[in-house]
């Protein structure tokens, strides 16, 4: 018997818009609207796409013993410099486990007198329990249930959102701001410039309709969200990263700031530090890489890779990239095969098809830095 | 035109049967990005997986609807898989088959029966 699916606050709006509802992370969500995945993807790259990501977990951590103690407490869960994030700024983070694997990846913002954290839907209850267990002395945790989370992404996102809140035009990539009831960050998961907007659920429908009434804005489903993030080379938790992949293997070393590395001001001190610092020093045995099938056939998640006759890892995300107009994928390969340009083969329907290690992102990112 | 439960259409053209997928199937698949066609001049049995269609969402097999020989394939689909969404009942035919006996087509659904089937 299927588990009962939860519904988003804007469920009726998605159905009214013609969303094709599918199960995702325990929710009923729109995989696409009548425009279809391809058009939705290309529209986001050309204009602006509106995504309902209210399934994600929104958490506020208020300091019990000062912001510094809160930041240091949060740092004890991640190989990330939290203390160095200035007020009004957001950073990518990841919770690690004792073996150096990844429990979840997340965004957190310093909002002056507290931290605002956004985590993946499928992990949110575990993440909240994890934070409650480890931050009890330094944080009062509020797991927000009454706010929607929308993302507006694409080159015309600024023009569209600035009609409602002009101040967002001045924000730069990873800035955060609170404009009345709107909590805005200049970020997203498509590789495009854009915003993520948290707002009270009661206002979300009117706000979404106001945006969609603008000629630039179309609603975008999960299908295009996935192809957009894949073209941008971004990891999907549970697929490209999980408890068995380390941040070093995953190519997320950029998310580990100097302060937490060997010789840094606050070296180590996070779960799995011994493993991760050793891997940073010696290099991992496998790496996440971009992959481009030489032919037109997509190589999907789970496709086994080979270097000659030798197994060479597998694909963790793969599909068709509408903007690059070709199949694209990412996966883990042994370091010996991780160099850009390395020729490998993928097992597709019992045939070995050529695939080449490629740089990511597949489509250039356009963040407003 | 006849229809299979696997959402293929079959159209008699002279002594051949032309095979494609239905509009219902093309809509359910979403944007088609890749088509792999069978080799011409191969003899196939009903139910053989002889063609692959990949959309932005997933891969699906196309089964040989009847016993027979593949005599022609639509190479246009290889270069322009999106035809399957644009014109599934016309320009986006997949392959043409030669059958020993066209009367086997009587066993398949007609248009009204197919409409009931997908309703």
How many Å lie between the alpha carbon of B34 and the closest alpha carbon of chain A? 6
Give the total number of structural domains in chain A. Answer: 2
Can you give the CATH number for the domain in which A292 is found? 2.40.30.110
The reply to whether A78 falls in a domain is no
A365 plus A296 within the same structural domain:
yes
Cα–Cα distances in angstroms (integers) from residue A280 to residues A104, A263, A321, B3, in the given order: 20, 12, 32, 59
Is there a single domain that holds both residue A298 and residue A363? yes
Give CA–CA dist A268/B53, Å, rounded: 49
Identify whether A107 is part of a domain.
Answer: no
- Look up residue B23 and give its two tokens: 């509009």
Residues facing B73 on adjacent strands: B95
- Same structural domain for residues A224 and A292? no
- What are the CB-based long-range contacts (under 8 Å, 24+) for A10-14? A10/A52, A10/A54, A10/A148, A10/A204, A10/A205, A10/A208, A13/A205, A13/A208, A13/A209, A14/A52, A14/A219
How many angstroms separate the CA atoms of B4 and B1, rounded? 10
| pLDDT string in tens for chain A (369-residue length) | 456 899 999 999 999 999 999 999 999 999 999 999 999 999 999 999 999 999 999 999 999 999 999 999 999 999 999 999 999 999 999 999 999 999 999 999 999 999 999 999 999 999 999 999 999 999 999 999 999 999 999 999 999 999 999 999 999 999 999 999 999 999 999 999 999 999 999 999 999 999 999 999 999 999 999 999 999 999 999 999 999 999 999 999 999 999 999 999 999 999 999 999 999 999 999 999 999 999 999 999 999 999 999 999 999 999 999 999 999 999 999 999 999 999 999 999 999 999 999 999 999 999 999
**Which tokens in the block code for residue A268?**
């180590």
Q: Parse chain B into domains and list their residue ranges.
A: 2-102
ipTM: 0.85
- Please report whether residue A62 resides in a domain: no
DSSP structural state of residue A295: S
Torsion-angle region of A358 (φ positive above 0: left; ψ -120 to 50: alpha; else: beta): beta
Please indicate whether, in this complex, the C-beta atoms of A320 and B56 are within 8 angstroms of each other.
yes
Is the CB of residue A368 less than 8 Å from the CB of residue A238?
Answer: no
**A296 in B contact zone (CB under 8 Å):** yes
What fold, for B2-102? OB fold (Dihydrolipoamide Acetyltransferase, E2P) (2.40.50)
Q: Comparing C-alpha atoms, which of A314, A298, A329 is closest to residue A231?
A: A329
Whether A42 is covered by a domain: the verdict is yes
Is B56 strand, coil or helix? coil
Give yes or no: residues A49 and A155 share one domain.
yes
**Is A158 annotated as a binding-site member?**
no
Domain containing A304: what range? 285-369
Determine the residue among B24, B30, B33 to mutate to test chain A binding: the one whose Cβ has the most chain A Cβ atoms within 10 Å.
Answer: B33
B52 lies within 8 A of chain A by CB: yes
Q: Are residues A214 and A290 in the same domain?
A: no
Among A18, A34, A38, pick the best mutation site for testing chain B contact (most B Cβ within 10 A): A38
Phi, psi of A36 (to 5 degrees): 90, 160
Chain A CB contacts of B48 under 8 Å are none
């Amino acid at each position: 018997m299927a588990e009962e699916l939860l519904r988003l606050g804007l469920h009726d709006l998605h159905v009214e818009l013609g969303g094709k509802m599918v199960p995702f992370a325990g929710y009923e969500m729109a995989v696409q609207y009548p425009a279809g995945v391809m058009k939705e993807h290309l529209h986001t790259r050309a204009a602006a796409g509106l995504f309902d990501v209210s399934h994600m977990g929104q958490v506020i951590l208020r300091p019990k013993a000062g912001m510094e103690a809160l930041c240091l407490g949060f740092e004890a869960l991640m190989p990330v410099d939290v203390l160095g994030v200035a007020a009004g700024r957001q950073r990518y983070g990841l919770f690690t486990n004792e073996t150096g694997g990844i429990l979840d990846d997340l965004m957190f913002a310093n909002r002056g007198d507290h931290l605002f954290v956004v985590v993946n839907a499928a992990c949110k209850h575990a993440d909240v329990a994890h934070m409650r267990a480890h931050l009890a002395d330094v944080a009062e945790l509020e797991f927000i249930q009454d706010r929607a989370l929308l993302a507006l992404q694409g080159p015309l996102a600024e023009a569209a959102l600035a009609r409602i809140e002009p101040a967002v035009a001045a924000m730069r990539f990873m800035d955060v701001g609170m404009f009345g009831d709107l909590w805005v960050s200049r970020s997203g998961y498509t590789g495009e410039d854009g915003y993520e907007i948290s707002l009270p659920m009661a206002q979300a429908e009117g706000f979404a309709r106001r945006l969609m009434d603008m000629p630039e804005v179309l609603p975008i489903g999960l299908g295009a969200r996935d192809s957009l993030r894949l073209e941008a080379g971004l990891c999907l938790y549970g697929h490209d990263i999980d408890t068995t992949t380390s941040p070093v293997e995953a190519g997320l070393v950029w998310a580990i700031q100097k302060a937490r590395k060997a010789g840094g001001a606050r070296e180590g001190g996070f779960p799995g530090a011994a493993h991760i610092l050793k891997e940073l020093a010696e290099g991992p045995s496998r790496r996440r890489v971009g992959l481009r099938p030489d032919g037109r056939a997509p190589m999907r998640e789970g496709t086994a890779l080979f270097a000659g006759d030798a197994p060479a890892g597998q694909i963790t995300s793969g599909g068709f990239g509408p903007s690059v107009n070709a199949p694209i994928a990412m996966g883990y390969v042994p370091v010996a095969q991780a160099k850009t340009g390395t020729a490998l083969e993928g097992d597709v329907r019992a045939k070995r098809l050529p695939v080449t290690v490629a740089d990511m992102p597949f489509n250039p990112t356009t963040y407003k830095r | 035109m006849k229809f299979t439960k696997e959402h293929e259409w079959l159209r008699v053209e002279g002594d051949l049967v032309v095979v494609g997928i239905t509009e219902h199937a093309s809509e359910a698949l979403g944007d088609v990005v890749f088509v792999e066609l069978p080799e011409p001049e191969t003899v196939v049995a009903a139910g053989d997986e002889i063609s692959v269609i990949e959309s932005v969402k997933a891969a699906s097999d196309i089964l040989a609807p009847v016993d027979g020989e593949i005599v022609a394939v639509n190479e246009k689909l290889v270069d322009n898989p999106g035809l399957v969404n644009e014109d599934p009942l016309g320009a986006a035919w997949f392959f043409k088959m030669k059958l020993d006996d066209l009367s086997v087509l009587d066993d398949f659904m007609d248009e009204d029966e197919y409409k009931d089937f997908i309703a």
